[in-house]
Chains A and B, each alone.
Chain A
């Protein structure tokens, strides 16, 4: 049954991918990208990767689609026809595809316990997580504690992306762009009663669910990345129905910048606190008298740091696009 679903979803994925490539209208392409992400999330879920599925659904299908639409509003929504016949790239891709297909013949069966990937460090993680960290969700234990360095790196990638977008799009010297503008466009869908009422009804629950995902990551699928995407999706929805200026009143650029920097600082601070208390960088065991409690505290703080930065960056990108749109 799972195989049947898998084949069905993968076929749909290929169809959607071809659709994205062939779509000349960029709006259609963006919408298809969102559908692609949703199918990808379902695929991850079939493969029992609930954490990844949640991330893909929240980021790929949710926030990324909105951000791409925001970018589209600044440019032309039609692809410029290029007369190039891409025969060489096509041949290259075909060759690479054949190579990959050839490589899959040597691949172990899906979920094979004897596969090399399940023989390396995975058994150690599964055995030692209950003793060392004692959280039911091993993914969170690996992500936040065992592989804290990697997550720190990911956080700084997002941090850098946010700073980069701010540098490129936001232009405080011109004034106006970052201040609250009360133009007609910034009023959102205020005069549309239905989306406004339903939006107001739904937004608190989205943010609440985001907080649940944030703080329930130790026990179920979830964590800072997913929560950040969910909370910013809720606030973007608020900005869409109530007008961008209202959303900026709730969370101004100043607060968002503080969230971006504060999250990164908090993560590094937890690491340095570990050094000061006599452990290694990002060693949470020394944060509390009881090593396991220290791990719990460390994971909580680190996940909160990730959530803060992700929310800040996503909302900043959204507001930068929107501010740019109003100026032109």
Chain B
């Protein structure tokens, strides 16, 4: 049982880290603001949640697990909202998507 939990939590932690890393690469490599934000925001939310789930499995049924769960719920709410607000602000500022990104 212990080993199984460890394996699951490691899988979650590593895949979470991989998502965050991919998001980082995307934020650097994508051609314009909107695609960069798209790369960063989606993977960031998923990656952080996976990492937090992994840590919760390590913590077991403790107070820390409840706190981590609360952090996770708040991230689930706030991270997409922040991404929305950012994209919305860019649109209001009339930042146009790069042509090259549209043509491809």
Listed in ascending order, the chain A residues whose CB lies under 8 Å from chain B are 189, 192, 194-195, 198-199, 201-202, 205
**Chain A hits for B84, CB < 8 A:** 194-195
**Least CB separation from A198: chain B residue:** B81
Shortest Cβ gap from A179 to chain B (Å): 28
B68-91 near A? 1/0 per residue, CB < 8 Å: 000000100110010011001000
**Chain B hits for A205, CB < 8 A:** 74
Shortest Cβ gap from B96 to chain A (Å): 19
The answer to whether B74 and A198 touch across the interface, beta carbons within 8 angstroms, is no
Most buried by A among B78, B81, B88: B81
Beyond A198-B81, A202-B74, A202-B78: 5 further Cβ-contacts under 8 Å? A192-B85, A192-B88, A194-B81, A198-B78, A205-B74
Bound-state CA distance A205–B78 (Å) is 13
Shortest Cβ gap from A220 to chain B (Å): 11
**Chain B hits for A195, CB < 8 A:** 81, 84-85
Bound-state CA distance A225–B81 (Å) is 28
Bound-state CA distance A122–B45 (Å) is 43
Name the 3 nearest CB pairs between A and B, nearest first.
A198-B81, A194-B84, A195-B85
**Least CB separation from B73: chain A residue:** A205
Bound-state CA distance A194–B82 (Å) is 10
The answer to whether B77 and A202 touch across the interface, beta carbons within 8 angstroms, is yes
Shortest Cβ gap from B55 to chain A (Å): 16
Number of residue pairs across A and B with beta carbons under 8 Å? 18
User: Which residues in chain B, 38-87, are within 8 Å of chain A measured between CB atoms?
Assistant: 74, 77-78, 81, 84-85
**Chain A hits for B74, CB < 8 A:** 202, 205
The answer to whether A198 and B77 touch across the interface, beta carbons within 8 angstroms, is yes
**Least CB separation from A194: chain B residue:** B84
**Chain B hits for A198, CB < 8 A:** 77-78, 81
Bound-state CA distance A307–B4 (Å) is 47
**Chain A hits for B78, CB < 8 A:** 198, 202
**Chain A hits for B81, CB < 8 A:** 194-195, 198-199
Shortest Cβ gap from B13 to chain A (Å): 15
Bound-state CA distance A201–B81 (Å) is 12
**Chain A hits for B88, CB < 8 A:** 192
Shortest Cβ gap from A200 to chain B (Å): 11
Shortest Cβ gap from A198 to chain B (Å): 4
Bound-state CA distance A205–B70 (Å) is 11
**Least CB separation from B84: chain A residue:** A194
Most buried by A among B78, B84, B85, B88: B85
Residue pairs across A and B with Cβ atoms less than 8 A apart, 13 shown, are A192-B85, A192-B88, A194-B81, A194-B84, A194-B85, A195-B81, A195-B84, A198-B77, A198-B78, A199-B81, A201-B77, A202-B77, A202-B78
**Chain A hits for B77, CB < 8 A:** 198, 201-202
Bound-state CA distance A192–B91 (Å) is 13
Bound-state CA distance A205–B81 (Å) is 16
Bound-state CA distance A199–B78 (Å) is 9
**Least CB separation from B70: chain A residue:** A205
Bound-state CA distance A44–B69 (Å) is 24
**Chain B hits for A202, CB < 8 A:** 74, 77-78
Bound-state CA distance A296–B85 (Å) is 44
Shortest Cβ gap from A65 to chain B (Å): 13
Bound-state CA distance A201–B74 (Å) is 10
Bound-state CA distance A195–B83 (Å) is 10
Bound-state CA distance A59–B77 (Å) is 22
**Chain B hits for A194, CB < 8 A:** 81, 84-85
**Chain B hits for A199, CB < 8 A:** 81
Shortest Cβ gap from A317 to chain B (Å): 23
Bound-state CA distance A274–B15 (Å) is 59
Shortest Cβ gap from A221 to chain B (Å): 13
Bound-state CA distance A199–B88 (Å) is 16
